[in-house]
Amino acid sequence: MSNQLFMMLHATFGVLAMLCGLWLFVETLNAAASNRRRIVAASLLLALFMWVTYVVGGSWYVDYYGAEKALIKAGPFPSAHGFFMETKEHVFLLLLLLATWLPIAVWRSPPATGGPARSLILWSSGLMVLGTLAMEGAGALVSLGVKMSLLPH
Amino acid sequence: MDRWVNAFGISFAVTALLSAVLVVVKELNHGVFTWMAGLTGHHWVTHGVLQLLLFVVLGLILLGRAPVNKSTLVALVPGGLVLGSAIVAGFFVLH
């Protein structure tokens, strides 16, 4: 049961992080002195949700993934592990660092000042959205790999 | 651009590239993989710890340095993520 619970929490907090990335992107598009607090809040929540996603997903990965990995590798869709999981687990670490840096960036160089500060936050938050979406997609394909291995074939 | 944003932005870009290189090295070198697995019990946990340490230490070192050009930082941070991810994904496509 805790296996499935960890997995659901991991995916849920990942989606919340993605939504905060999108929120940060939209607020930055309309950056002004009046929405500075919302920009800071979005960046802090993004970082928080990414760290929770990391801790929950990492615990699941270390404690439970070994058995599922063996199933996937023996099944009809081995690249669910060989490409999707391997790429996901390492690219996620890069996204985690970017999410950790973003609150520093929005606090110390408010995007409302325009120019490079705004571009930097827009690019970074936009890539966070795409990256976290890719992580969710890769997670779904890993689950599909397990399911395909368990189905009669 | 603020010196903290500069320092940790450059640190992120460097760490992202080195982390991607470490993925390639540990996957190709069984000794490195085993050493990393032995440090914390799992290679991925060690990878995360090393990456976080590098990000923080390099960022703190760079705090005292001269800032980079503002436009350069706009290219460095997203570029670091894209290039690091491309190295990782490209490696696992070929591996």
Give pLDDT, residue A3: 82
Which domain, by its residues, includes B72? 3-94
Q: What confidence tens digit (pLDDT) does each residue in B22-62 have?
A: 999 999 999 999 999 999 999 999 999 999 999 999 999 99
DSSP letter string over A102-144? HHHHHHHS-GGG-HHHHHHHHHHHHHHHHHHHHHHHHHHHHHH
Whether residue A89 is predicted with pLDDT greater than 70 in this model: the reply is yes
Q: What value does the mean pLDDT of chain A take?
A: 94
Q: Closest approach of chain B CAs to the CA of A139, in angstroms?
A: 15
Residue B74's alpha-carbon distances to A71, A100, B5, B43, in angstroms, are: 43, 17, 11, 32
Q: How confident is the model at residue B66 (pLDDT cuts 50, 70, 90)?
A: low
Token pair, residue B2, equals 């603020």
**Structural domains counted in chain B:** 1
Overall average pLDDT of the B76-92 stretch: 97
ipTM, 2 dp: 0.94
Could you tell me the pLDDT band of residue B70, with boundaries at 50, 70 and 90? confident
Q: Is A1's pLDDT higher than 70?
A: no
Q: What is the pLDDT of residues A13-54, one digit of tens each?
A: 999 999 999 999 999 999 998 999 999 999 999 999 999 999
Q: Given an 8 Å threshold on Cβ–Cβ distance, is B48 in contact with A61? A: no
- Find chain B residues with C-beta within 8 A of A93's C-beta: 19, 47-48, 51
pLDDT value at A82 more than 90: yes
User: A123: which chain B residues are within 8 Å (Cβ-Cβ)?
Assistant: 74, 77-78
